[in-house]
Copies of this chain bind each other. A is one copy, B any other.
């Protein structure tokens, strides 16, 4: 009974310009790590949370615990029995717009499923991880959970019923994410979007761009892909919440980025590039503009993570 399973689940960038609540992609890093081992008593015990002082170790309040419990409840009788002890290592910032709660939820769900012989499908694991997300955000949005679990670039066609469509990832595509050390209240950022009403012209703009973005991924046409990174619906509302956003975006594009927008609720800003060298130049340009706006930042650049959540050695 002393087997311990360790799972890494990656951060994710979401919305990706035109795709509010329906597009997300997995990053190679950062991400969260969950370790689990079986215990005789039923249910989930969170032994320790490292890397984030503010997170609860109450398994009904911690998203990794909620997701882990959801997996336990769905285990087929033949594999079920007992519960789990869980260690959560937060290795990425909270409320960054990079799917922090999704990474913890996914890591918790995948770790418990693996520990019990992997009886649940990936689709069932998405449902379990979403229970964690709902506990964190109060609303269901799968555009971080699905890419963190599955890897790649993922589309949520529908929420009722949930239908996830993996999209092709061009091999040259590079993603840049810069996380400025500024706070954006996720709930407030979502309320801003939910309370607003939109014109048909705004919707048409995003419809044309998201449709062409998907075609560009299937063709591997990165120039077309870049032209599609536009958001007439949400970016105008959230840009004022990110210090220096307009300058950061202009700098990214001037440095060769294919496109640039806000990841999730922000404050992280993502950009795409078609080569590692361009991605590095884009990182430098974006971080310099954030510094001029008075904020330090962390940056990540690299290919899209096409593996998703995975078991790692201790």
| Residues on A facing B (Cβ under 8 Å) | 18-23, 155-159, 163, 165, 167, 193-194, 196-200, 202-215, 218, 224, 227-228, 233-234
- Nearest chain B CB to A203 CB, angstrom units: 5
Task: Determine which of B156, B193, B194, B211 lies in contact with A155 in the assembled complex, contact meaning CB atoms within 8 Å.
Answer: B211
Give every chain B residue within 8 A of A199 (Cβ-Cβ). Answer: 194, 197-198
Number of copies: 2
Measured between beta carbons, the chain B residues less than 8 angstroms from A158 are: 205, 208-209, 212, 227
Are A156 and B208 neighbours in the complex by a CB distance under 8 Å? Answer: yes
Q: Which of B196, B207, B208 contacts A200, CB < 8 Å?
A: B196
Q: A158-B227, A227-B158 are in contact. Are A165 and B215 (CB under 8 A)?
A: yes
A223 to chain B, nearest CB (A): 11
Contact of B211 with A203 in the complex, beta carbons under 8 Å: no
Residues of B with C-beta under 8 A to A200: 20-21, 193-194, 196, 198, 233-234
- Asked if residues B210 and A210 are in contact (CB atoms below 8 Å), the reply is yes
Contact A224 B165 (CB under 8 A): yes
Contact residue among B22, B159, B204, B233 (Cβ-Cβ distance under 8 Å from A211): B22
CB-based contact B209/A210 at 8 Å: no
Q: Known contacts being A165-B215, A212-B165, A215-B165, is A228 close to B157, with CB within 8 Å?
A: yes
